[in-house]
Amino acid sequence: EWTCAAAAEGGHLEVLQWARERGCPWNIRTCFQAADGGHLEILQWAHAQGCPWDIWTCACAASGGHLEILQWAWERGCPWNNFTCKFAAQGGHLEVLQWARGQGCQWNERTCSDAASGGHLKLLQWAHARGCPWDEMTCALAADKGHMEILQWARAQGCPWDEKTCQFAIEG
């Protein structure tokens, strides 16, 4: 399982094919490592050969900002959930987040808190303007990572905060 996943992650289609011809096992990790690495050709081949996938394939594509891979997987029925939006936000991939939301992908408070943690103000502003929920972790993680502009903006918009914000600011 790890051999196939490592080949997929590294973008080594010939190695993956060779391993599979010799009975090397694979699992969902092969697909999500291909997606994470931005290797569409490998993901296409693995999927065509029956390699299983799950929500992590879409989440990893989003994490890497690989919109083409995310679109391809979603169009073929690969499942997704709020982790796709969370990981897109974490990586600052606004275009990926916009597309995923346009297709009805779920989001939650972690989308905003991960955008804040990553220092992605424009993405956070876009998400908040479209009703993405947020909670105290948005301010806390902005403080933890030293993103003063994000903390100030979030508070000006009424984002809640609590003692974690001060604690994270001191410890961060």
pLDDT at 100: 99
Q: Which residue has the tokens 């000006």?
A: 156
Instruction: Check pLDDT > 90 for residue 170.
Output: no
pLDDT at 164: 86
- CB of 148 closer than 8 Å to CB of 120: no
Alpha-carbon 46 to chain mean position: 21
Domains of the chain plus CATH, in order, are 1-84 (1.25.40.20), 108-172 (no CATH)
Instruction: Check pLDDT > 90 for residue 171.
Output: no
pTM of the model: 0.94
Alpha carbon distance 137, 132 (integer Å): 14
DSSP 107: -
Instruction: Check pLDDT > 90 for residue 96.
Output: yes
> Which residues fall within 8 angstroms of residue 68, CB to CB, at 6 or more apart?
40
pLDDT at 99: 99
Q: Supply 91's token pair.
A: 């990586």
pLDDT at 172: 72
